Structure 1
């Protein structure tokens, strides 16, 4: 054992020659000892020592190796995990108004005193000026850099949250504001360093004081010139934090239909959500999330803006928000129809919207509801702008009774609401089973 330790010690102490000679002693049955030598390539031996790793298993060491492909695959998997999470908007930092950031930085910088022990007045003033300018620059730049680091990049967000950013703020607005904030940070840093250097090189106390005054003014001007980017970032943070949080592990009921068909009234009946209810289209100006508890089970209910009969290219951002919910969230659909003529969208247009959404999102659990059934008349309502095709039997049937299996309800007269709640509960329980099965499949 001592010989082995001595050999290892010699290896560690040996110079980096191309060849390594290890001496050993062979002991035979007789009384004599013979010495032998072996030559090893030194570089290869050192390389094997540096790269080999071991795991301890039951008191023994076993080699642990990871290929380059495995390491790259592990790095690729890390961002994909973050895509599955929601709630990034609630983690956004609290952004201060631009003027408050500036006043706080100026106040901190002016309190900075020169380094102790400098007897020469000019040197002390140069030191004080350079330190104050450096502090002002850092107070502004560090805060801006913190904002840039804490606002997530869109590629790491859930697709639904990416859609909310684009449709709520405008396409490219989020990245544009962050770029402007970064440009402002770089401008503050370059200006602060420039005038801090000039102040440190001043020839006299008076020159140092003048350089400090000019430098403070220049940094302040550089900041104010582009400070609107900070206020825009403040507005973005407030807007995104106000977005409803969706729990992907909880079943979600999404109410869909044309504008003013009664979706918001049903949301009030089915959940804790309190959307605005008015008798005109597009009352719902965004996604509203409510919650409900049925048999001690928690569910989510979301109200969405109304859809019109037109192509996706012609849809406004409110309609695209509805499509984003259906496209990116695991929802069960409650499609609301109004055949009374009160909503402003003709039954034939509603039928076309329904068929398009059913074809596109038919994989979702689905329940059709005809609202305002107390206003239905024996003869279907016909709009003057409508082209009534009497040969279309399916459309004629829809105009009178709605889709097959549709549930007739009236919030005003309390018709069909208890049955609606039961049907919704059954559908959400089925949706919960779907979510659990999908999660189990992803884990395996």
Structure 2
């Protein structure tokens, strides 16, 4: 998602616009009214330009709801409500357009004014209406500022890039596999509405990079054990294009039975309509039971798993996983 600039509050934008306008000082003109007219036109035009361009920039930088990826849309819906987000963007766009309209009308009135007193009053009237428009959208600027700060804290997962999300019970080797696939090139990011982190690494596949996402605490226990907010937050992972690598340990050393792991596998399969691939871990100390089997200790099967991931990632565009 492209960077979004800091969002000013209405009083900050008013102060910025009028302060710049107040610095306008036209040179001497032997006809005093000409100087006053030009000075007030320029002050109105400056206040309009500073504020309207800024508001237009805000609207342009925020993705519209139609262009917002479902991964981010789910989080904004949970935190703020998409309708509130759309309404605030529309209101800010209206404010920018309204300021341009007010400035156009005021400059037209200035050109018809005859006395310096009339000219100053036109400018003062514009300032009053200008401030009212911005104060009217203060709550919208505040909400968009909170949205901007929230979006910046979301995990830096590219939802359009081929991704492989690692799932499975604790202690089955998820973090070790992540490190094996990414050569320990891993970033940590907080996951919204939980106290948990996700670990994001990248695996090289020629000129391409493939995202590998480890989800400790997220996809390692059944959904029915979570509160509604946490559950809906975790389900946002379904919007990432990719495959779930479900790690299963038959060695008995993870602390979880095969039955418990199968129950989690079925739970994930029922909640995530994306491709799920079973990967057996700790093959160095257990009998092979899955087609894909690895050991993070002696690296058995790691190259084969990488080849499988590269092959699968090449099919994302064709099949739209």
Larger Cα Rg: Structure 1 or Structure 2?
Answer: 1
**How large is the Cα RMSD of the aligned pairs?**
4.6
Q: Please state how far the C-alpha of 1:433 moved relative to its aligned partner.
A: 0.8
> TM-score, normalised to structure 1's length?
0.53
| CA distance, structure 2, for counterparts of residue 425 and residue 166 of structure 1 | 40
Change over 3 Å in CA distance of 1:362–1:294 after alignment to 2:
closer
Hey, what does 2:16 align to over in structure 1?
Answer: 104
Q: Please state how far the C-alpha of 1:244 moved relative to its aligned partner.
A: 1.0
Hey, what does 2:95 align to over in structure 1?
Answer: 184
Does residue 291 of structure 1 match 2:202? yes
Q: Please state how far the C-alpha of 1:140 moved relative to its aligned partner.
A: 0.7
Hey, what does 2:279 align to over in structure 1?
Answer: 367
Deviations 1:161-210 (A, max 9, x none): 54454456544343233123123324433444454455444442223224
1:114-133 equivalences under 5 Å are 114=26, 119-133=30-44
| CA distance, structure 2, for counterparts of residue 101 and residue 337 of structure 1 | 58
| CA distance, structure 2, for counterparts of residue 188 and residue 143 of structure 1 | 12
Q: Please state how far the C-alpha of 1:336 moved relative to its aligned partner.
A: 6.5
- Given that 1:256 and 1:336 are in contact with CA atoms closer than 8 Å, whether structure 2 keeps it comes out as no
Deviations 1:217-255 (A, max 9, x none): 4323431342342343334334334441438565x3312
Q: Please state how far the C-alpha of 1:143 moved relative to its aligned partner.
A: 1.9
Structure having greater relative contact order (Cα 8 Å, sep ≥ 6) = 2
- Given that 1:256 and 1:322 are in contact with CA atoms closer than 8 Å, whether structure 2 keeps it comes out as no
Hey, what does 1:204 align to over in structure 2?
Answer: 115
Hey, what does 2:242 align to over in structure 1?
Answer: 330
Hey, what does 2:310 align to over in structure 1?
Answer: 432
- Given that 1:292 and 1:299 are in contact with CA atoms closer than 8 Å, whether structure 2 keeps it comes out as yes
Q: How many residues matched?
A: 304
Change over 3 Å in CA distance of 1:438–1:128 after alignment to 2:
closer
Does residue 232 of structure 1 match 2:232? no
Hey, what does 1:76 align to over in structure 2?
Answer: none
Change over 3 Å in CA distance of 1:347–1:184 after alignment to 2:
farther
| CA distance, structure 2, for counterparts of residue 292 and residue 333 of structure 1 | 15
| CA distance, structure 2, for counterparts of residue 134 and residue 319 of structure 1 | 51
Q: Which runs of 5+ in 2 are unaligned?
A: none
- Given that 1:160 and 1:329 are in contact with CA atoms closer than 8 Å, whether structure 2 keeps it comes out as no
Change over 3 Å in CA distance of 1:180–1:422 after alignment to 2:
farther
| Deviating more after overlay: 138-147 vs 94-103 | 94-103
Question: Which residue, out of 399, 417, 422, partners 2:296?
Answer: 417
1:85-164 equivalences under 5 Å are 89=1, 91-98=2-9, 99-114=11-26, 119-164=30-75
Question: Which residue, out of 212, 216, 223, partners 1:301?
Answer: 212
| CA distance, structure 2, for counterparts of residue 267 and residue 237 of structure 1 | 34
SS of the aligned residue for 2:276 comes to coil
Deviations 1:274-299 (A, max 9, x none): 5489xxx95425x5422356999954
Q: Which runs of 5+ in 1 are unaligned?
A: 1-88, 371-400, 410-415
Does residue 352 of structure 1 match 2:231? no
